[in-house]
Structure 1
Amino acid sequence: MSGAVLAAVLCAALLHAAWNAAIKTEADKLLATLAVTSGAALLGAAALPFLPAPAAASWPFIAASSLLQVAYYLLLSATYRETDISHAYPLMRGAAPVLVALANAGNEALQPAQVLAIGLVCAGGLVIFLGGGGLRARRRGTALALATALVIAAYTLVDGLGVRRSGAPAAYTAWLFLLTGVLAPLACRRRAGGRLAAYLAARPLVALGGGAATAASYGIALWAMTLAPVAVVAALRETSIVFAVAIAAWVLRERVARERIAGALLIAAGAAALRLG
Protein backbone atom coordinates (compact mmCIF):
# COMPACT_ATOMS: atom_id res chain seq x y z
CA MET A 1 0.00 0.00 0.00
CA SER A 2 1.42 3.38 -1.01
CA GLY A 3 1.67 6.28 1.40
CA ALA A 4 -1.02 8.16 -0.51
CA VAL A 5 -3.51 5.30 -0.26
CA LEU A 6 -2.71 4.82 3.43
CA ALA A 7 -3.31 8.52 4.10
CA ALA A 8 -6.57 8.44 2.13
CA VAL A 9 -7.94 5.45 4.07
CA LEU A 10 -7.03 7.08 7.39
CA CYS A 11 -8.77 10.25 6.17
CA ALA A 12 -11.86 8.15 5.34
CA ALA A 13 -11.84 6.72 8.85
CA LEU A 14 -11.56 10.21 10.33
CA LEU A 15 -14.43 11.48 8.17
CA HIS A 16 -16.68 8.66 9.34
CA ALA A 17 -15.95 9.42 12.98
CA ALA A 18 -16.39 13.15 12.33
CA TRP A 19 -19.90 12.99 10.86
CA ASN A 20 -20.98 10.75 13.73
CA ALA A 21 -19.60 13.34 16.14
CA ALA A 22 -21.46 16.09 14.28
CA ILE A 23 -24.76 14.28 14.88
CA LYS A 24 -23.88 13.82 18.54
CA THR A 25 -23.31 17.56 19.00
CA GLU A 26 -26.74 18.52 17.65
CA ALA A 27 -29.61 19.03 20.08
CA ASP A 28 -32.06 17.15 17.85
CA LYS A 29 -30.26 13.96 16.86
CA LEU A 30 -33.08 12.77 14.59
CA LEU A 31 -33.17 15.94 12.49
CA ALA A 32 -29.38 15.99 12.30
CA THR A 33 -29.36 12.41 11.06
CA LEU A 34 -32.05 13.14 8.47
CA ALA A 35 -30.04 16.16 7.35
CA VAL A 36 -26.98 13.96 6.77
CA THR A 37 -29.04 11.49 4.72
CA SER A 38 -30.49 14.40 2.72
CA GLY A 39 -27.04 15.77 1.95
CA ALA A 40 -25.78 12.35 0.88
CA ALA A 41 -28.89 11.88 -1.27
CA LEU A 42 -28.22 15.17 -3.04
CA LEU A 43 -24.67 14.08 -3.84
CA GLY A 44 -25.91 10.69 -5.02
CA ALA A 45 -28.47 12.29 -7.32
CA ALA A 46 -25.81 14.64 -8.73
CA ALA A 47 -23.51 11.71 -9.53
CA LEU A 48 -26.05 9.37 -11.14
CA PRO A 49 -26.23 11.07 -14.59
CA PHE A 50 -22.52 10.38 -15.03
CA LEU A 51 -22.62 6.73 -13.96
CA PRO A 52 -23.76 3.56 -15.74
CA ALA A 53 -26.95 2.00 -14.42
CA PRO A 54 -26.57 -0.96 -12.04
CA ALA A 55 -27.50 -4.34 -13.48
CA ALA A 56 -31.11 -5.40 -12.98
CA ALA A 57 -30.05 -8.28 -10.73
CA SER A 58 -28.76 -5.83 -8.12
CA TRP A 59 -31.96 -3.81 -7.68
CA PRO A 60 -33.56 -6.09 -5.06
CA PHE A 61 -30.39 -5.70 -3.03
CA ILE A 62 -30.41 -1.92 -3.48
CA ALA A 63 -34.00 -1.84 -2.23
CA ALA A 64 -33.30 -4.10 0.75
CA SER A 65 -30.14 -2.22 1.69
CA SER A 66 -31.92 1.14 1.46
CA LEU A 67 -34.52 -0.04 3.99
CA LEU A 68 -31.76 -1.34 6.26
CA GLN A 69 -29.90 1.97 5.92
CA VAL A 70 -33.03 3.81 7.05
CA ALA A 71 -33.21 1.56 10.12
CA TYR A 72 -29.51 2.20 10.73
CA TYR A 73 -29.83 5.97 10.71
CA LEU A 74 -32.89 5.91 12.98
CA LEU A 75 -31.13 3.62 15.44
CA LEU A 76 -28.02 5.79 15.24
CA SER A 77 -29.94 8.91 16.27
CA ALA A 78 -31.62 7.01 19.11
CA THR A 79 -28.28 5.65 20.29
CA TYR A 80 -26.67 9.08 20.44
CA ARG A 81 -29.64 10.41 22.41
CA GLU A 82 -28.99 7.78 25.06
CA THR A 83 -25.23 7.53 25.39
CA ASP A 84 -21.82 9.03 24.65
CA ILE A 85 -20.11 8.52 21.33
CA SER A 86 -17.10 7.09 23.21
CA HIS A 87 -19.44 4.38 24.51
CA ALA A 88 -21.55 3.71 21.43
CA TYR A 89 -19.22 4.10 18.44
CA PRO A 90 -16.68 1.38 19.37
CA LEU A 91 -19.50 -1.05 20.11
CA MET A 92 -21.32 -0.31 16.84
CA ARG A 93 -18.31 -0.42 14.57
CA GLY A 94 -16.57 -3.27 16.38
CA ALA A 95 -19.51 -5.62 16.81
CA ALA A 96 -20.63 -5.37 13.17
CA PRO A 97 -17.68 -7.29 11.61
CA VAL A 98 -18.00 -9.90 14.36
CA LEU A 99 -21.65 -10.44 13.44
CA VAL A 100 -20.75 -10.64 9.74
CA ALA A 101 -18.06 -13.22 10.48
CA LEU A 102 -20.45 -15.29 12.59
CA ALA A 103 -23.11 -15.10 9.87
CA ASN A 104 -20.59 -16.43 7.35
CA ALA A 105 -19.35 -19.15 9.70
CA GLY A 106 -21.75 -21.63 8.11
CA ASN A 107 -19.98 -21.19 4.77
CA GLU A 108 -16.44 -20.62 5.98
CA ALA A 109 -15.12 -22.08 9.23
CA LEU A 110 -13.59 -19.50 11.54
CA GLN A 111 -9.82 -19.69 11.78
CA PRO A 112 -8.08 -19.61 15.20
CA ALA A 113 -6.88 -16.05 14.53
CA GLN A 114 -10.45 -14.97 13.80
CA VAL A 115 -11.72 -16.57 17.01
CA LEU A 116 -9.03 -14.66 18.91
CA ALA A 117 -10.05 -11.44 17.14
CA ILE A 118 -13.69 -11.97 18.11
CA GLY A 119 -12.55 -12.54 21.68
CA LEU A 120 -10.71 -9.21 21.66
CA VAL A 121 -13.81 -7.38 20.42
CA CYS A 122 -16.00 -9.05 23.06
CA ALA A 123 -13.48 -8.27 25.79
CA GLY A 124 -13.31 -4.65 24.67
CA GLY A 125 -17.08 -4.40 24.67
CA LEU A 126 -17.26 -5.75 28.21
CA VAL A 127 -14.62 -3.28 29.37
CA ILE A 128 -16.59 -0.40 27.85
CA PHE A 129 -19.84 -1.62 29.39
CA LEU A 130 -18.23 -1.75 32.83
CA GLY A 131 -16.40 1.53 32.34
CA GLY A 132 -18.60 4.00 34.19
CA GLY A 133 -22.03 5.60 34.17
CA GLY A 134 -25.28 4.39 35.65
CA LEU A 135 -26.15 0.75 35.04
CA ARG A 136 -29.56 1.56 33.55
CA ALA A 137 -28.09 4.12 31.14
CA ARG A 138 -25.31 1.71 30.18
CA ARG A 139 -27.85 -1.01 29.45
CA ARG A 140 -29.96 1.24 27.22
CA GLY A 141 -26.97 2.67 25.39
CA THR A 142 -25.33 -0.72 24.92
CA ALA A 143 -28.56 -2.34 23.70
CA LEU A 144 -29.11 0.40 21.12
CA ALA A 145 -25.47 0.31 19.98
CA LEU A 146 -25.60 -3.47 19.51
CA ALA A 147 -28.94 -3.21 17.67
CA THR A 148 -27.28 -0.67 15.36
CA ALA A 149 -24.35 -3.05 14.86
CA LEU A 150 -26.79 -5.80 13.90
CA VAL A 151 -28.28 -3.58 11.19
CA ILE A 152 -24.78 -2.59 9.99
CA ALA A 153 -23.93 -6.29 9.68
CA ALA A 154 -27.17 -6.93 7.79
CA TYR A 155 -26.65 -4.22 5.18
CA THR A 156 -22.99 -5.19 4.86
CA LEU A 157 -24.01 -8.72 3.91
CA VAL A 158 -26.70 -7.44 1.53
CA ASP A 159 -24.33 -4.98 -0.13
CA GLY A 160 -21.62 -7.61 -0.43
CA LEU A 161 -24.01 -9.66 -2.55
CA GLY A 162 -25.63 -6.74 -4.36
CA VAL A 163 -22.56 -4.81 -5.44
CA ARG A 164 -21.10 -7.91 -7.09
CA ARG A 165 -24.24 -8.23 -9.19
CA SER A 166 -24.41 -4.53 -10.04
CA GLY A 167 -21.46 -4.27 -12.41
CA ALA A 168 -21.29 -0.62 -11.31
CA PRO A 169 -20.24 -0.20 -7.66
CA ALA A 170 -20.26 3.61 -7.78
CA ALA A 171 -23.79 3.75 -9.21
CA TYR A 172 -24.94 1.12 -6.70
CA THR A 173 -23.67 3.35 -3.89
CA ALA A 174 -25.17 6.52 -5.37
CA TRP A 175 -28.60 4.90 -5.61
CA LEU A 176 -28.27 3.76 -1.99
CA PHE A 177 -27.57 7.32 -0.87
CA LEU A 178 -30.45 8.70 -2.94
CA LEU A 179 -33.07 6.15 -1.85
CA THR A 180 -32.03 6.32 1.79
CA GLY A 181 -32.26 10.10 1.74
CA VAL A 182 -35.79 9.88 0.33
CA LEU A 183 -37.06 7.04 2.53
CA ALA A 184 -35.65 8.18 5.87
CA PRO A 185 -37.68 11.43 6.07
CA LEU A 186 -40.78 9.52 4.94
CA ALA A 187 -40.28 7.00 7.72
CA CYS A 188 -40.03 9.85 10.24
CA ARG A 189 -42.72 12.14 8.86
CA ARG A 190 -44.79 11.94 12.06
CA ARG A 191 -41.85 12.59 14.38
CA ALA A 192 -40.03 15.11 12.22
CA GLY A 193 -43.18 16.66 10.77
CA GLY A 194 -42.46 19.78 8.79
CA ARG A 195 -39.40 20.59 10.86
CA LEU A 196 -36.83 19.07 8.51
CA ALA A 197 -37.07 21.81 5.87
CA ALA A 198 -36.63 24.50 8.50
CA TYR A 199 -33.72 22.59 10.03
CA LEU A 200 -31.99 22.24 6.66
CA ALA A 201 -32.39 25.96 6.04
CA ALA A 202 -31.00 26.81 9.48
CA ARG A 203 -28.23 24.19 9.54
CA PRO A 204 -27.11 23.65 5.93
CA LEU A 205 -23.60 22.66 6.96
CA VAL A 206 -24.91 19.63 8.83
CA ALA A 207 -26.52 18.37 5.63
CA LEU A 208 -23.77 19.35 3.22
CA GLY A 209 -20.83 18.60 5.50
CA GLY A 210 -22.28 15.40 6.94
CA GLY A 211 -23.50 14.18 3.57
CA ALA A 212 -20.14 14.92 1.95
CA ALA A 213 -18.28 13.22 4.82
CA THR A 214 -20.30 10.01 4.67
CA ALA A 215 -20.13 9.88 0.85
CA ALA A 216 -16.40 10.65 0.78
CA SER A 217 -15.66 8.12 3.52
CA TYR A 218 -17.35 5.34 1.57
CA GLY A 219 -16.05 6.47 -1.80
CA ILE A 220 -12.44 6.68 -0.62
CA ALA A 221 -12.67 3.16 0.78
CA LEU A 222 -14.00 1.83 -2.54
CA TRP A 223 -11.25 3.64 -4.45
CA ALA A 224 -8.55 2.34 -2.07
CA MET A 225 -9.79 -1.23 -2.51
CA THR A 226 -8.96 -0.97 -6.21
CA LEU A 227 -5.34 -0.14 -5.38
CA ALA A 228 -4.62 -2.16 -2.22
CA PRO A 229 -5.72 -5.46 -0.65
CA VAL A 230 -9.36 -5.27 0.43
CA ALA A 231 -8.62 -6.83 3.83
CA VAL A 232 -5.91 -4.27 4.58
CA VAL A 233 -8.15 -1.35 3.62
CA ALA A 234 -11.02 -2.73 5.72
CA ALA A 235 -8.70 -3.21 8.69
CA LEU A 236 -7.34 0.32 8.43
CA ARG A 237 -10.89 1.71 8.39
CA GLU A 238 -11.30 0.38 11.93
CA THR A 239 -9.03 3.21 13.06
CA SER A 240 -12.26 5.23 12.95
CA ILE A 241 -12.91 3.78 16.43
CA VAL A 242 -9.76 5.42 17.75
CA PHE A 243 -10.58 8.69 15.98
CA ALA A 244 -14.10 8.68 17.44
CA VAL A 245 -12.86 8.25 21.00
CA ALA A 246 -10.23 10.96 20.47
CA ILE A 247 -12.88 13.36 19.12
CA ALA A 248 -15.16 12.49 22.04
CA ALA A 249 -12.43 13.32 24.55
CA TRP A 250 -10.79 16.37 22.95
CA VAL A 251 -13.58 17.99 20.96
CA LEU A 252 -16.85 16.94 22.58
CA ARG A 253 -15.30 17.00 26.06
CA GLU A 254 -16.86 13.72 27.10
CA ARG A 255 -15.54 12.20 30.29
CA VAL A 256 -13.70 9.30 28.70
CA ALA A 257 -12.54 6.95 31.42
CA ARG A 258 -9.45 4.81 31.01
CA GLU A 259 -11.71 1.77 30.73
CA ARG A 260 -13.38 3.20 27.64
CA ILE A 261 -10.02 3.98 26.04
CA ALA A 262 -8.76 0.48 26.77
CA GLY A 263 -11.99 -1.07 25.53
CA ALA A 264 -11.95 0.97 22.32
CA LEU A 265 -8.35 -0.06 21.61
CA LEU A 266 -9.20 -3.72 22.20
CA ILE A 267 -12.20 -3.47 19.87
CA ALA A 268 -10.22 -1.66 17.17
CA ALA A 269 -7.43 -4.24 17.35
CA GLY A 270 -9.88 -7.13 17.28
CA ALA A 271 -11.94 -5.71 14.42
CA ALA A 272 -8.81 -4.98 12.37
CA ALA A 273 -7.45 -8.48 13.03
CA LEU A 274 -10.80 -9.98 12.04
CA ARG A 275 -10.75 -8.08 8.74
CA LEU A 276 -7.22 -9.26 8.04
CA GLY A 277 -8.09 -12.83 8.98
Structure 2
Amino acid sequence: MSAWLISLEGTEAGRHFALGLALMAAFLHALFGALQKGRHDPWISRAAIDASYGIIAAPFALFVVPWPEPHMWPIFAGAFVIHVGYKVSQAMTYQRGAYAVVYPVVRGTGPFFAVFGAGLIFGEQFTTGQWAGVATLMAGIFGLALYNLRTITVDRDTMGPALFWAVVTGMFVAAYTTYDAYGIRATADPFTFLAWFFFIDGIFMPVYTWRRWRHLPSSEIVPLMKRGVAGAFAAYFSFGAILLATRLDKVGEAAVLRETSTVFAALIAWLMLGDRVGPRRLTLMALIAAGAVIVKLTG
Protein backbone atom coordinates (compact mmCIF):
# COMPACT_ATOMS: atom_id res chain seq x y z
CA MET A 1 0.00 0.00 0.00
CA SER A 2 2.77 2.43 0.94
CA ALA A 3 4.71 1.74 -2.25
CA TRP A 4 1.57 2.27 -4.34
CA LEU A 5 0.80 5.61 -2.66
CA ILE A 6 4.38 6.80 -3.04
CA SER A 7 4.25 5.90 -6.74
CA LEU A 8 1.30 8.30 -7.17
CA GLU A 9 3.24 11.35 -5.91
CA GLY A 10 3.49 14.05 -8.56
CA THR A 11 1.23 12.22 -11.04
CA GLU A 12 -2.17 13.11 -12.49
CA ALA A 13 -3.65 9.99 -10.87
CA GLY A 14 -2.22 11.17 -7.56
CA ARG A 15 -3.89 14.58 -7.91
CA HIS A 16 -7.26 12.97 -8.63
CA PHE A 17 -6.85 10.59 -5.69
CA ALA A 18 -5.90 13.52 -3.44
CA LEU A 19 -9.14 15.28 -4.45
CA GLY A 20 -11.17 12.27 -3.39
CA LEU A 21 -9.25 12.00 -0.12
CA ALA A 22 -9.82 15.69 0.69
CA LEU A 23 -13.57 15.43 0.10
CA MET A 24 -13.79 12.26 2.18
CA ALA A 25 -11.89 14.06 4.93
CA ALA A 26 -14.39 16.93 4.74
CA PHE A 27 -17.40 14.72 5.38
CA LEU A 28 -15.75 12.71 8.14
CA HIS A 29 -14.39 15.80 9.88
CA ALA A 30 -17.89 17.26 10.08
CA LEU A 31 -19.08 13.96 11.58
CA PHE A 32 -16.13 14.01 13.98
CA GLY A 33 -17.04 17.52 15.15
CA ALA A 34 -20.67 16.52 15.71
CA LEU A 35 -19.57 13.54 17.80
CA GLN A 36 -17.48 15.79 20.04
CA LYS A 37 -20.25 18.40 20.34
CA GLY A 38 -22.96 15.87 21.24
CA ARG A 39 -24.71 15.52 24.59
CA HIS A 40 -21.53 14.83 26.59
CA ASP A 41 -19.02 17.29 27.97
CA PRO A 42 -16.80 18.13 24.93
CA TRP A 43 -13.66 17.65 27.05
CA ILE A 44 -14.67 14.10 27.99
CA SER A 45 -15.94 13.34 24.50
CA ARG A 46 -12.58 14.34 23.04
CA ALA A 47 -10.75 12.30 25.70
CA ALA A 48 -12.82 9.21 24.85
CA ILE A 49 -12.05 9.64 21.15
CA ASP A 50 -8.33 10.20 21.74
CA ALA A 51 -8.02 7.25 24.12
CA SER A 52 -9.75 5.03 21.57
CA TYR A 53 -7.59 5.97 18.63
CA GLY A 54 -4.41 5.88 20.72
CA ILE A 55 -5.11 2.34 21.95
CA ILE A 56 -6.09 1.11 18.48
CA ALA A 57 -3.01 2.71 16.88
CA ALA A 58 -0.53 1.32 19.44
CA PRO A 59 -0.03 -2.18 17.96
CA PHE A 60 0.27 -0.77 14.43
CA ALA A 61 2.88 1.78 15.55
CA LEU A 62 4.88 -0.72 17.59
CA PHE A 63 4.67 -3.87 15.46
CA VAL A 64 3.35 -3.21 11.94
CA VAL A 65 4.74 -0.07 10.30
CA PRO A 66 8.47 0.70 10.01
CA TRP A 67 9.83 2.57 13.01
CA PRO A 68 10.32 6.34 12.59
CA GLU A 69 13.70 7.62 11.48
CA PRO A 70 15.66 9.49 14.22
CA HIS A 71 14.87 12.90 12.71
CA MET A 72 11.12 12.22 13.09
CA TRP A 73 11.05 12.39 16.91
CA PRO A 74 11.42 16.20 17.12
CA ILE A 75 8.74 16.45 14.42
CA PHE A 76 6.38 14.30 16.49
CA ALA A 77 7.10 16.49 19.52
CA GLY A 78 6.15 19.61 17.57
CA ALA A 79 2.98 17.97 16.28
CA PHE A 80 2.05 16.96 19.83
CA VAL A 81 2.34 20.54 21.09
CA ILE A 82 0.34 22.02 18.19
CA HIS A 83 -2.44 19.46 18.54
CA VAL A 84 -2.67 20.01 22.30
CA GLY A 85 -3.30 23.70 21.59
CA TYR A 86 -5.87 22.77 18.95
CA LYS A 87 -7.77 20.38 21.22
CA VAL A 88 -7.88 22.74 24.19
CA SER A 89 -9.11 25.65 22.07
CA GLN A 90 -11.63 23.40 20.30
CA ALA A 91 -13.05 22.14 23.60
CA MET A 92 -13.25 25.74 24.87
CA THR A 93 -15.16 26.62 21.69
CA TYR A 94 -17.64 23.74 21.83
CA GLN A 95 -18.19 24.25 25.55
CA ARG A 96 -19.42 27.80 24.93
CA GLY A 97 -21.05 27.95 21.50
CA ALA A 98 -23.70 26.31 19.35
CA TYR A 99 -22.15 23.84 16.91
CA ALA A 100 -23.95 25.34 13.90
CA VAL A 101 -22.28 28.73 14.60
CA VAL A 102 -18.81 27.94 15.89
CA TYR A 103 -17.94 25.09 13.52
CA PRO A 104 -18.18 27.29 10.37
CA VAL A 105 -16.02 29.96 12.04
CA VAL A 106 -13.33 27.38 12.85
CA ARG A 107 -13.36 25.95 9.36
CA GLY A 108 -13.58 29.36 7.66
CA THR A 109 -10.54 30.70 9.47
CA GLY A 110 -8.36 27.66 8.84
CA PRO A 111 -7.94 27.63 5.03
CA PHE A 112 -6.94 31.29 4.79
CA PHE A 113 -3.99 30.82 7.13
CA ALA A 114 -3.22 27.36 5.74
CA VAL A 115 -2.76 28.74 2.22
CA PHE A 116 -0.29 31.30 3.56
CA GLY A 117 1.49 28.57 5.53
CA ALA A 118 1.75 26.36 2.46
CA GLY A 119 3.28 29.28 0.56
CA LEU A 120 5.89 29.91 3.25
CA ILE A 121 6.83 26.29 3.96
CA PHE A 122 6.33 24.56 0.61
CA GLY A 123 6.60 27.47 -1.82
CA GLU A 124 3.09 26.90 -3.17
CA GLN A 125 1.53 29.81 -5.06
CA PHE A 126 -2.20 30.32 -5.57
CA THR A 127 -3.40 31.89 -8.82
CA THR A 128 -5.71 34.92 -8.85
CA GLY A 129 -8.58 32.60 -9.71
CA GLN A 130 -7.78 30.35 -6.76
CA TRP A 131 -7.72 33.31 -4.37
CA ALA A 132 -11.13 34.25 -5.74
CA GLY A 133 -12.26 30.71 -4.96
CA VAL A 134 -10.90 30.98 -1.41
CA ALA A 135 -12.75 34.29 -0.96
CA THR A 136 -15.97 32.73 -2.29
CA LEU A 137 -15.66 29.71 0.00
CA MET A 138 -14.90 31.86 3.05
CA ALA A 139 -17.79 34.20 2.27
CA GLY A 140 -20.13 31.23 2.20
CA ILE A 141 -18.71 29.78 5.42
CA PHE A 142 -18.84 33.01 7.42
CA GLY A 143 -22.22 33.85 5.92
CA LEU A 144 -23.48 30.51 7.19
CA ALA A 145 -22.08 31.26 10.64
CA LEU A 146 -23.76 34.70 10.72
CA TYR A 147 -27.07 33.28 9.56
CA ASN A 148 -26.94 30.58 12.23
CA LEU A 149 -25.98 33.18 14.84
CA ARG A 150 -29.13 35.18 14.03
CA THR A 151 -31.41 32.19 14.35
CA ILE A 152 -30.06 30.19 17.30
CA THR A 153 -31.71 30.40 20.72
CA VAL A 154 -29.08 28.51 22.78
CA ASP A 155 -25.65 29.54 24.12
CA ARG A 156 -26.22 33.19 23.19
CA ASP A 157 -24.82 34.53 26.46
CA THR A 158 -21.47 32.80 25.86
CA MET A 159 -21.28 33.37 22.10
CA GLY A 160 -18.67 36.13 22.29
CA PRO A 161 -16.03 33.98 24.00
CA ALA A 162 -17.06 31.04 21.82
CA LEU A 163 -16.36 33.00 18.64
CA PHE A 164 -13.00 34.15 20.00
CA TRP A 165 -11.99 30.56 20.72
CA ALA A 166 -13.34 29.48 17.33
CA VAL A 167 -10.92 31.88 15.59
CA VAL A 168 -8.05 30.64 17.78
CA THR A 169 -9.00 27.05 16.89
CA GLY A 170 -9.02 27.94 13.20
CA MET A 171 -5.48 29.26 13.51
CA PHE A 172 -4.41 25.99 15.12
CA VAL A 173 -6.11 24.13 12.26
CA ALA A 174 -3.93 26.03 9.80
CA ALA A 175 -0.85 25.36 11.94
CA TYR A 176 -1.37 21.61 12.17
CA THR A 177 -2.38 21.32 8.52
CA THR A 178 0.91 22.75 7.27
CA TYR A 179 3.10 21.28 10.00
CA ASP A 180 1.70 17.76 9.69
CA ALA A 181 1.99 17.95 5.91
CA TYR A 182 5.68 18.67 6.48
CA GLY A 183 5.85 15.71 8.88
CA ILE A 184 4.25 13.16 6.59
CA ARG A 185 6.57 14.23 3.78
CA ALA A 186 9.63 13.90 6.03
CA THR A 187 9.33 10.13 6.50
CA ALA A 188 9.82 7.41 3.91
CA ASP A 189 6.58 5.58 4.78
CA PRO A 190 3.49 7.81 5.25
CA PHE A 191 1.80 5.17 7.40
CA THR A 192 4.67 5.39 9.89
CA PHE A 193 3.76 9.01 10.51
CA LEU A 194 0.04 8.26 10.78
CA ALA A 195 0.37 5.30 13.17
CA TRP A 196 2.84 7.03 15.48
CA PHE A 197 0.95 10.32 15.35
CA PHE A 198 -2.30 8.72 16.56
CA PHE A 199 -0.43 6.65 19.17
CA ILE A 200 1.31 9.72 20.64
CA ASP A 201 -1.62 12.10 20.15
CA GLY A 202 -3.98 9.83 22.11
CA ILE A 203 -2.15 10.44 25.38
CA PHE A 204 -2.84 14.04 26.39
CA MET A 205 -6.62 14.45 26.64
CA PRO A 206 -7.36 11.27 28.68
CA VAL A 207 -4.67 12.30 31.20
CA TYR A 208 -5.70 15.97 31.23
CA THR A 209 -9.40 15.23 31.82
CA TRP A 210 -9.16 12.35 34.30
CA ARG A 211 -10.78 14.40 37.10
CA ARG A 212 -13.86 15.04 34.98
CA TRP A 213 -14.43 11.31 34.61
CA ARG A 214 -15.11 10.99 38.35
CA HIS A 215 -18.28 13.06 37.94
CA LEU A 216 -19.57 11.02 35.01
CA PRO A 217 -22.64 8.87 35.86
CA SER A 218 -21.94 5.17 35.41
CA SER A 219 -24.87 4.91 32.99
CA GLU A 220 -23.04 7.26 30.60
CA ILE A 221 -19.77 5.35 30.41
CA VAL A 222 -20.78 2.78 27.79
CA PRO A 223 -22.48 5.31 25.44
CA LEU A 224 -19.44 7.56 25.76
CA MET A 225 -17.07 4.70 24.94
CA LYS A 226 -19.13 3.85 21.87
CA ARG A 227 -18.93 7.48 20.81
CA GLY A 228 -15.18 7.37 21.39
CA VAL A 229 -14.65 4.35 19.15
CA ALA A 230 -16.85 5.84 16.42
CA GLY A 231 -14.92 9.10 16.68
CA ALA A 232 -11.62 7.22 16.52
CA PHE A 233 -12.44 5.66 13.17
CA ALA A 234 -13.79 8.97 11.88
CA ALA A 235 -10.49 10.56 12.93
CA TYR A 236 -8.41 7.85 11.23
CA PHE A 237 -10.12 8.24 7.89
CA SER A 238 -10.57 12.02 8.11
CA PHE A 239 -7.17 13.08 9.38
CA GLY A 240 -5.40 10.24 7.61
CA ALA A 241 -7.08 11.10 4.32
CA ILE A 242 -6.19 14.79 4.44
CA LEU A 243 -2.57 14.06 5.34
CA LEU A 244 -2.21 11.59 2.49
CA ALA A 245 -3.78 14.21 0.21
CA THR A 246 -1.16 16.76 1.29
CA ARG A 247 1.58 14.28 0.43
CA LEU A 248 0.14 13.54 -3.01
CA ASP A 249 -0.86 17.08 -4.02
CA LYS A 250 -0.69 20.72 -2.94
CA VAL A 251 -1.21 21.40 0.76
CA GLY A 252 -3.15 24.63 0.20
CA GLU A 253 -5.63 23.07 -2.21
CA ALA A 254 -6.25 20.11 0.10
CA ALA A 255 -6.81 22.49 3.04
CA VAL A 256 -9.39 24.51 1.09
CA LEU A 257 -11.23 21.46 -0.23
CA ARG A 258 -11.48 20.01 3.25
CA GLU A 259 -13.43 23.06 4.36
CA THR A 260 -16.41 21.89 2.35
CA SER A 261 -16.88 20.04 5.65
CA THR A 262 -19.00 23.06 6.61
CA VAL A 263 -21.61 21.93 4.08
CA PHE A 264 -21.61 18.45 5.57
CA ALA A 265 -21.75 19.95 9.08
CA ALA A 266 -24.90 21.89 8.17
CA LEU A 267 -26.49 18.71 6.87
CA ILE A 268 -25.46 16.80 10.00
CA ALA A 269 -26.86 19.59 12.20
CA TRP A 270 -30.13 19.25 10.28
CA LEU A 271 -30.30 15.45 10.36
CA MET A 272 -28.78 14.73 13.79
CA LEU A 273 -29.26 17.87 15.86
CA GLY A 274 -32.64 19.06 14.57
CA ASP A 275 -31.54 22.29 12.88
CA ARG A 276 -33.53 23.61 9.91
CA VAL A 277 -32.02 23.99 6.42
CA GLY A 278 -33.90 26.64 4.46
CA PRO A 279 -33.24 28.40 1.14
CA ARG A 280 -30.72 30.86 2.65
CA ARG A 281 -28.64 28.09 4.11
CA LEU A 282 -28.81 26.14 0.88
CA THR A 283 -27.59 29.20 -1.03
CA LEU A 284 -24.65 29.68 1.35
CA MET A 285 -23.79 26.00 1.15
CA ALA A 286 -23.80 26.24 -2.63
CA LEU A 287 -21.44 29.22 -2.35
CA ILE A 288 -19.02 27.15 -0.28
CA ALA A 289 -19.09 24.34 -2.80
CA ALA A 290 -18.62 26.81 -5.68
CA GLY A 291 -15.55 28.28 -3.98
CA ALA A 292 -13.96 24.83 -3.68
CA VAL A 293 -14.69 24.09 -7.34
CA ILE A 294 -13.14 27.42 -8.40
CA VAL A 295 -9.98 26.67 -6.40
CA LYS A 296 -9.61 23.29 -8.10
CA LEU A 297 -10.45 24.39 -11.62
CA THR A 298 -8.24 27.49 -11.63
CA GLY A 299 -5.19 25.75 -10.12
| Bin for the TM-score computed over the shorter chain | 0.7 to 0.9
Does the CA contact (< 8 Å) of 2:44 and 2:213 recur in 1?
no
Alpha-carbon separation, structure 1, partners of 2:125 and 2:24: 33
TM superposition score normalised by structure 1: 0.81
Does the CA contact (< 8 Å) of 2:137 and 2:287 recur in 1?
yes
Q: Which residue does the alignment assign to 2:268?
A: 247
Q: Over aligned residue pairs, what C-alpha RMSD do you find?
A: 3.4
Q: Which residue does the alignment assign to 1:40?
A: 53
Superposed displacement of residue 78, structure 1: 2.1
Alpha-carbon separation, structure 2, partners of 1:69 and 1:193: 22
> One-letter code of the match for 2:66?
P
Superposed displacement of residue 115, structure 1: 2.1
Q: Which residue does the alignment assign to 1:66?
A: 80
Match of 2:100 among 65, 68, 86: 86
Q: Structure 1: 5+ residue runs without aligned partners?
A: none
Alpha-carbon separation, structure 2, partners of 1:223 and 1:162: 11
Alpha-carbon separation, structure 2, partners of 1:10 and 1:122: 17
Match of 2:201 among 151, 159, 180: 180
Alpha-carbon separation, structure 2, partners of 1:259 and 1:219: 33
Does the CA contact (< 8 Å) of 2:137 and 2:288 recur in 1?
yes
TM superposition score normalised by structure 2: 0.76
Change (3 A) 1:67 1:234: closer
2:135 counterpart of 1:111: no
Superposed displacement of residue 56, structure 1: 1.7
Alpha-carbon separation, structure 2, partners of 1:117 and 1:182: 38
Superposed displacement of residue 38, structure 1: 0.9
> One-letter code of the match for 1:130?
L
Alpha-carbon separation, structure 1, partners of 2:184 and 2:171: 20
Superposed displacement of residue 129, structure 1: 4.2
Question: Percentage identity across aligned positions?
Answer: 28
Query: What SS does the aligned partner of 1:130 have?
Result: helix
Superposed displacement of residue 173, structure 1: 1.5
Match of 2:188 among 167, 181, 190: 167
Report the more deviating stretch, 258-267 or 241-250: 258-267
Q: Structure 2: 5+ residue runs without aligned partners?
A: 1-12
Alpha-carbon separation, structure 2, partners of 1:143 and 1:87: 12
Alpha-carbon separation, structure 1, partners of 2:217 and 2:237: 24
Superposed displacement of residue 41, structure 1: 0.7
Does the CA contact (< 8 Å) of 1:127 and 1:263 recur in 2?
yes
Change (3 A) 1:207 1:109: closer
> One-letter code of the match for 2:38?
T
Superposed displacement of residue 111, structure 1: 2.0
2:233 counterpart of 1:212: yes
2:115 counterpart of 1:101: yes
Alpha-carbon separation, structure 1, partners of 2:184 and 2:217: 32
